[in-house]
Amino acid sequence: MSNAPLSAPCMWMRGGTSKGAYFLKQDLPQDTAERDAFLLSIMGSPDPRQIDGMGGGDPLTSKVAVVEPSSRPGIDVDYLFLQVFVDEAIVSDGQNCGNILAGVGAFAIERGLVVANDGETTVNIFMENTGQVASCVIQTPNGVVSYRGGAAIDGVVGTASPVAVTFKDTAGSSCGALLPTGREFDNIDGVPVTMIDNGMPVVVFRAEDMGITGTESRAELEENAELRKKLESIRLQAGPLMNLGDVTERSVPKMTMVSAAQQGGAISTRTFIPHRCHASIGVLGAVSVATACMLPESPAYGLANIPEGELKTLAIEHPIGNLTVLLTTDQNNNVENSAILRTTRKLYDGVVFGH
Ligand code: NQM
């Protein structure tokens, strides 16, 4: 029987195209097992519908941010991302989340961890899952977080204040190297793949090599049992090759099938994260796919439209629009850093109750 607390102060926020619970670390049990039992309980997991909790029955709405003041030089707050699995009793810190990240700056200001300027406030965030730093620029007229604004991102209806996010040192975040096998291309089950990690471990391969066009809807792909079996076979073999070990119970690597862009972007994607098809694409997942597009031997390269110049704008198309990634490259086309636009929204602030 767990000693999980009955309740904790909590802010529910949309971060980019994800949604979840934001906590101050001090408000959660310090013991990991107790913390995880509490988080499973508030989300209503394990249950595909999460009917007895706040989760939305989807990995994208069953997410948690744990935030605390940072003691690192130049860093404002430390952020730990936790994925609460929907239909399994698993809480995993084994991946980062660039969407939930989009709410962390605003949350830190709201909770008094960062003092806002009049205008814009940059919040430097240490991402504990992968040991890297992101900078988020939050709109703070009169020193107060403004959620209303004119920025739109695909996958979210309407507009909101922009949150500009910059990543600097994401290569090899979880796998130890941008290309954990040392190669731009490998072969698994007869399928040419690029195993890459520029912030998120992703296996990138062509949709046509999996017997699909890459234009299918999320629902259509999730119903394709044969495809899902093939994806899982490749994923389980990719895990150890990517220095991730046995990934049977992990939410990485993500599986991205690419095809030629349909809407004038750089490339089109369909991503499994890893067992459900993403409604769009993850932030750091998109950064990793954009980076794969730059590698001449990657199966993505021949399909991708890559602009000239050292600052490259790549629209990564997904089932419901695109996620635009800005890559800064050096003269040899190596990616030095990346930036994306997100929005966030405070939905609820109060107390959440466990069992
Ligand atoms: O790749 C979903 C999301 C994510 C992760 C996932 C993410 C990222 O859309 O940075 O944001 O791939 O599990 O939130």
How many A from CA of 258 to the centre of ligand 1? Answer: 17
In Å, what is the CA distance from 229 to each residue of 232, 235, 255, 319?
A: 5, 10, 12, 21
Of 62, 262, 283, 261, nearest to 155 by C-alpha is 283
**Is 77 within 8 Å of 111 (Cβ atoms)?**
no
Helix, strand, or coil (residue 22): strand
Ligand 1: residue of 14, 17, 18, 322 to mutate (most ligand atoms within 8 A of CB) is 18
| ipTM for the predicted complex | 0.91
Going along the chain from its start, the domains and CATH numbers come out as: 7-168+343-353 (3.10.310.10), 186-319 (3.10.310.10)
The Cα–Cα gap between 339 and 341 comes to 7
Helix, strand, or coil (residue 121): strand
Of 256, 269, 281, 257, nearest to 209 by C-alpha is 257
Full pLDDT tens readout for the chain, 355 residues: 455 558 999 999 999 999 999 999 999 999 999 999 999 999 999 999 999 999 999 999 999 999 999 999 999 999 999 999 999 999 999 999 999 999 999 999 999 999 999 999 999 999 999 999 999 999 999 999 999 999 999 999 999 999 999 998 899 999 999 999 999 999 999 999 999 999 999 999 999 999 999 999 999 999 999 999 999 999 999 999 999 999 999 999 999 999 999 999 999 999 999 999 999 999 999 999 999 999 999 999 999 999 998 899 999 999 999 999 999 999 888 999 999 999 999 999 999 999 8
Predicted confidence at residue 2, as pLDDT, reads: 55
Closest protein CA for atom 3 of ligand 1: 282
The Cα–Cα gap between 215 and 227 comes to 14
Provide the whole-model pTM. Answer: 0.93
Q: Which atom of ligand 1 is the closest one to the Cα of 59?
A: 13
Q: Is 98 in the pocket of ligand 1 (CB under 6 A)?
A: yes
**Is 234 within 8 Å of 240 (Cβ atoms)?**
no
